[in-house]
Amino acid sequence: MTATDPHSVLSFPHPVDEVSARLVATGVVLQAILFLATRWDVLLVTLAYGFVARVLAGPTLSPLGRVVTGVVRPRLPIEPREVPGPPKRFAQGIGAVLAGCAAVAAIGFGADALATVLLVALVVAASLEAFVGFCLGCWIFRLLMRTGAVPASTCEACDDIWSRSN
């Protein structure tokens, strides 16, 4: 896979700055916990929208992504750590499903218990990324590549990195 066109609105970055990804995950954790504490629907809708926007366009259309990449990240004296984009996009897709289903459950059906379970799963996964540096979605992506469910051509950089760790 080649790097995406940085001028295209609907593109996902490849490679991705790991520091920015962890900062976005921190924002997701905070937003999800704030929703769980307050039950303000707008937080849940914003959380779900942010994931969908990041799947479609990386940080370009995501308010959280824009704040992280445009305001927070440039002020940190930490060198970028580039990682492949496709696993991060896959992880964002999992987040979109969890947050979207939580929004539909809570707002559409009043199923607060289901929404809470989905958001707790999201908080656990995002916390692993934010505070430990372990991307659960990336790990699942790796397993899918190893089994052939995701072709190696989807992420040649991933295939190269992961084949060395066998």
* Per-residue three-class SS string for 51-64: HHHHHHHCCCCCHH
What count of other Cβ atoms lies within 10 Å of the Cβ of residue 117? 15
**Binning pLDDT at 50, 70 and 90, where does residue 9 land?**
low
The DSSP call for residue 93 is H
What confidence tens digit (pLDDT) does each residue in 113-162 have? 999 999 999 999 999 999 999 999 999 999 999 999 999 899 888 876 65
Beta bridge partners of 82: 17
- In the chain, the N- to C-terminal Cα span, in Å, equals 22
**In whole angstroms, what is the distance from residue 158 CA to residue 164 CA?**
10
**Binning pLDDT at 50, 70 and 90, where does residue 164 land?**
low
